[in-house]
Amino acid sequence: MTHHPESIRINKAISDSGYCSRRKADVLIEAGKVTINGTVATLGDRAMPDDEIRVDGKPIKANDNLVYIALNKPVGITCTTDRRVPGNVVDFINHKERIFHVGRLDKPSEGLLLMTNDGDIVNKILRAGNRHEKEYIVKVDRPVTSDFIKRMGSGIPLAELETTTKKCEVEQLSRYVFRIVLVQGLNRQIRRMCEYLGYEVLELKRIRIMNIELGDLKTGAWRNLTQKELQELNSMLMDSKNTPQSQRTQN
């Protein structure tokens, strides 16, 4: 099928506006909440630049004020844009722009969380299979052994997810603490891996996503990404491929 060269998929048009990510846009489309020129949109529909797109009856428009933020998420804050949820990350950061999180950190976890209103970069970062590194410091309830480090790094079978984790870099830092670098984003991956080996995660902190480092950013604080960080990030994302929706980062 030939498309007009200026048309784009409706989910991309919504994410480009800064309203939400493409994944969330697909959910809204499936729920019948999106219209194009008054007609209810369906998945795969395309829009022209002058088409009127509405979500829940409200028009969206292109957002030229793009925001890229690194947040040191505290324990207890929930990664959701649903403001009905107490302690949601959107209310916590209280930014003047409508922003959303890139990937997730579950409620008991802390550390680096990227937030933006650029739907394109969200999808690129979440792509599976392109070895986008995420680095964590983890404290467990039992002494870390050389066997534990070896098995964690070699791949752990996760029956509930019907997969085996990819090989990854794991390093012991102290008796109860280790560092791990993941290249995939399975749901609660580190916690599930540790549980398989009979360990319980007591503390989990993400300290890096690709080239973005947490550094000395204080818990609960946030900063704008630097121009250099953005340039490096975009360079790393140039060859990204689509991410299956079932694979999400949440540790």
Q: How far apart are CA 24 and CA 248, in angstroms?
A: 13
Give the residue numbers spanning the domain of 160.
134-209
* One domain for residues 112 and 165: no
Nearest to 69 by CA among 109, 110, 112: 112
CATH code of the domain containing 46: 3.10.290.10
Determine, yes or no, domain membership for 156.
Answer: yes
Pairing of the two strands 201-209 and 110-116: parallel
Res 240: pLDDT: 59
114-165 confidence digits (pLDDT tens): 999 887 787 777 764 556 899 999 999 999 999 999 999 999 999 988 999 9
Determine, yes or no, domain membership for 245.
Answer: no
**Stretch (H or E) spanning 150:** helix 146-154
* One domain for residues 122 and 226: yes
pLDDT > 90 fraction of the chain, expressed in percent and rounded: 63
Determine, yes or no, domain membership for 247.
Answer: no
25-68 confidence digits (pLDDT tens): 999 999 999 999 999 999 989 988 788 899 999 888 766 688 99
* One domain for residues 122 and 219: yes
* One domain for residues 138 and 199: yes
Res 62: pLDDT: 67
Q: What is the pTM of this model?
A: 0.76
Q: How far apart are CA 99 and CA 80, in angstroms?
A: 11
* One domain for residues 169 and 72: no
192-250 confidence digits (pLDDT tens): 999 999 999 999 999 999 999 999 999 999 999 999 999 999 888 876 554 444 444 56
The number of folded domains in the chain is 3
* One domain for residues 169 and 223: no
* One domain for residues 233 and 187: no
The one catalytic residue in 106, 118, 216, 239 is 106
* 106 is an active site residue: yes
* One domain for residues 48 and 72: no
Query: What's the start-to-end Cα distance of the chain, in Å?
Result: 41
